[in-house]
Chains A and B, each alone.
Chain A
């Protein structure tokens, strides 16, 4: 089992460019989450999903969109990247016992 995977692992964008981060899980978990991690800030929730076809806003949703068309995939989109979105992005899944995290994506916006 791969667990939770994220694609890509690293990416550099220019201001105004768009991109999509993919999170995939093979654990059959209902709940999925996107967090960003910035130095000294811990992890902050961007968006989450409680099941296929559902999404909801977290603590810091502005500038991001998400989709959960399939249970195993959760996509995070940046329509027009800004330097403030330079961060490490983590996907996580859960089903009652605590969250399981992907390896993270380091995104730099110049």
Chain B
């Protein structure tokens, strides 16, 4: 079974600075998808960024980018120019490309605090 590990329970960053959240995963599959979700205090789960394992190019969405290292099974999220609204729980998730169910396996999350 696949597992996802987020080794940083909490992180903090100063407003306007850059922060990187870590995620590692364990799988024997070669084709899969990886995601980062944001959960602000409102509790709503918001999809931040998505990466297909077969793509070597790292995904980018505005101030959010990933560093996908397939051989190392690492998938970190970089937030540039941090804003107060970035304060949230961040979850890394894995999805197999096989099987057709599109189930997600989540890490336990990293709580990000943004200091003004």
Contact = CB atoms under 8 A, between A and B. Distances in A.
A50 B101 contact: yes
Interface of B: 4, 9, 33, 35, 43-45, 47, 50, 91, 100-109
A42 B50 contact: no
Contact of B44 (A50, A94, A101): A101
A48 B103 contact: yes
Contacts of A42: 4, 91, 106-109
Interface of A is mostly: strand
A19 to B, nearest CB: 19
Nearest to B43: A104
B101 A31 contact: yes
Given A42-B91, A104-B43, A98 B35 contact: yes
A88 B106 contact: no
A97 B47 CA distance: 10
B103 A43 contact: no
Given A42-B91, A94-B102, A100-B47, 14 more contacts: A31-B101, A33-B103, A33-B104, A41-B108, A43-B45, A43-B91, A43-B106, A45-B104, A45-B105, A88-B43, A98-B33, A99-B102, A103-B44, A104-B44
Contacts of A45: 103-105
Give me the 6 closest cross-chain CB pairs, A-B, nearest first: A101-B45, A42-B106, A42-B108, A43-B106, A94-B102, A98-B47
Contacts of B108: 40-42
A90 interface: yes
B101 A98 contact: no
A44 B93 CA distance: 11
B43 A48 contact: no
Nearest to A49: B101
A47 B102 CA distance: 13
A83 to B, nearest CB: 21
Contacts of A94: 102
Contacts of A104: 43-44
